[in-house]
Amino acid sequence: MVDTRWMSIALIVASVSGGCATNQGKGALIGAGGGAAAGAGIGALVGGGKGALVGAAIGAGAGAATGAVIGHYMDKQQEALKKVKGANVQRQGDQLVVRFNSAILFDTGKSRLKPQSEQDLASFAQVLKEYRDTDLIIEGHTDNVGKRARNKKLSDARANAVVSFLAKEGVAKQRMTGLGLADERPVADNTTQQGRQQNRRVEVQIKANEKMQQQAAQEQGKSHG
């Protein structure tokens, strides 16, 4: 008969396995929180209340170390991306977000990359190839001017144009997902010209992939082995 405690343990571990890092220091704190939650849940299932306390302490240490490893990796990638012309790099939670204004990449209403923008994207691709243990969601965004169906089609085409170019530059296509969101996620006020210009953008979300998370956990395990 299957012991349901161990099935529950597996679910708890899986639920926090995505707790990566914002940077090396904050990543350690975030990882500690996720690790403590997992450890407490496992300890409670196996050993009751006292087991929860012990499990939380062990889990916090494991999570902090894993989070710090990923945070350090993302820190280095962030610094490299800041050197890419036209790229606005931000840290949001456990991932990097790189924004390119659509006016830099495309002519108005078009989805074909401008020749001068390809050099910037080629530099971007070089960094992505160096930091290959990440997954990318490449989003196309528009303002709210015009028909929504047309904006959706344009945002899809622009996202896919960037995916295709990066793939041509050697970034593994299986790492990338293209997504057109039209005007669903504005970052500024669409009632002003300046706001609409900010909303017309291509946004790339970069996060540690499953392999990176597993490697970080394994390295932490070896250091305590």
Q: What is the structure's pLDDT at 208?
A: 93
| Short-list 112, 103, 110, CA closest to 199 | 103
Q: Which two tokens stand for residue 147?
A: 């028909």
What string of pLDDT tens digits covers the 225 residues of the chain? 555 544 444 444 444 444 444 465 555 555 544 444 444 444 444 455 555 554 554 444 444 555 678 888 999 999 999 999 999 999 986 799 999 999 999 998 999 999 999 999 999 999 999 999 999 999 999 999 999 999 999 999 999 999 999 999 999 999 999 999 999 999 999 999 999 999 999 999 999 999 888 887 777 666 655
Q: What is the structure's pLDDT at 36?
A: 47
Q: What is the structure's pLDDT at 20?
A: 43
Q: What is the structure's pLDDT at 8?
A: 45
Q: What is the structure's pLDDT at 11?
A: 44
Q: What is the structure's pLDDT at 196?
A: 95
Strands 176-180 and 134-141: parallel
Distance, CA of 205 to CA of 200 (rounded, Å):
16
